[in-house]
Amino acid sequence: MKITIIGAGNMGSAIVRGLVRGSLFKAEDISVADVNENILNVLKKDVPGLNIEWDNYNSVSDADIILLAVKPWLVDNVIDCIKFKMDYEKQILVSIAAGIDIASLNLSLEKHSDEISIPTIFRVIPNTAIAIRKSVNLIATQNASDEQKDLLLRIFNELGTAVLLNESHLSAGTALTSCGIAYLFRYVRAAVQAGVEIGFYPKDAQNMIVETMLGAAELLKTGGENPETEIDKVTTPGGITIKGLNELEANGFSNAIIKGIKASLATCQN
């Protein structure tokens, strides 16, 4: 199985590095196209055996999967460049371009091709943790068989966790995962500031906070409990935790998180 990734920016390069650490692709099975020769050479140095191309998209013809990892405003131009090399009946088109829905991809393909068959399209929304193969990868599709869906889930489960959704739920999922990772970082920043104020060096405070977050996440992941159940375990009557929680709520902690996620969703939908 061969894959061509168009775009060697942060996300494209992260996907390449993640794929070669998985079980489905060898470096020789992966081709990467980009207009920046320097970026491609750095990537090939990190991933020996990788196929690179910066002046054409010849690998598209032989690919089983074509993955668009370019900026949204470049998608139409890229499709224009690969239009005569694609085989809709045999190939899968995957896009991680933010904000470009399946209908828009269809429109671009229709504008640039005389083919009458319906292409198999997957739209994937990862987050930045894909660089360490810990991304939540939201997936929606058009015209895919069960076998093709299973394949994409296998690929993106090797880059973190893959979740198949209706496309109508992708915006909401993005607010929780892609935006959500930034919300968690903001909590860490605030907690580090508090840690410094109560006597710790920033690096020491951050290490403790990060390890605490990892432990909390693992408790929820392995135990499957509601967060409130875990909170109850550490909120003894009259104790220090409940006093802190009440102070957080008095200052709008939960409400701020809910409003932030809904604001992100509203922006996604506009």
Per-10-residue mean pLDDT of the chain, 270 residues long, equals 96 95 95 94 95 90 96 93 88 94 90 69 95 95 95 97 96 94 97 98 98 96 93 95 97 96 85
pTM over 0.75: yes
Residue 129's domain comprises 3-169
- E-strand stretches of the chain: 3-6, 30-33, 51-53, 65-68, 92-95, 120-125, 135-142, 160-164
pLDDT given at position 116: 57
Q: What is the CATH number of the domain that holds 187?
A: 1.10.3730.10
92-95 and 120-125 beta bridge pairing: parallel
pLDDT score recorded for residue 113? 59
Tell me if 41 is assigned to some domain.
yes
Which pLDDT belongs to residue 110?
A: 81
**pLDDT for residue 96:** 97
pLDDT of residue 267: 81
Considering the domain boundaries, does residue 139 fall inside one? yes
Residue 175 lies in a domain: no
Note whether 220 and 263 are same-domain residues: yes
**Number of domains, the chain:** 2
Same domain membership, residue 160 and residue 200: no
